[in-house]
Amino acid sequence: MSLTHLIACTGCGETMSFEDGYAYIYRHIQEERLRFGFQCGARHVLFEEVLALAA
């Protein structure tokens, strides 16, 4: 739990509140998930292969 708090407060290179840090990290994780899905689609990767990569 302390590591999560540390990452949320300082993980983006600046000190911020836990709530702001968590929202920042969550937003970037969602962007990466969408980017991954888009890249797999652009490369015609089958859905089953994507699931295997994500497991």
Q: What's the CA angle centered on 24, arms 19 and 25, to 5 degrees?
A: 100
Q: What is the pLDDT of residues 5-50, one digit of tens each?
A: 787 778 777 888 888 888 888 898 999 999 998 999 999 999 899 8
* Two tokens, residue 32: 């990466």
Q: According to the model, what pLDDT value does residue 22 have?
A: 85
Q: According to the model, what pLDDT value does residue 23 have?
A: 87
In 3D space, the residue among 8, 39, 42, 13 whose CA is nearest the CA of residue 25 turns out to be 8
* Two tokens, residue 44: 């015609």
Q: According to the model, what pLDDT value does residue 42 have?
A: 95
Q: According to the model, what pLDDT value does residue 1 have?
A: 64
Q: According to the model, what pLDDT value does residue 53 have?
A: 79
Q: According to the model, what pLDDT value does residue 16 have?
A: 82
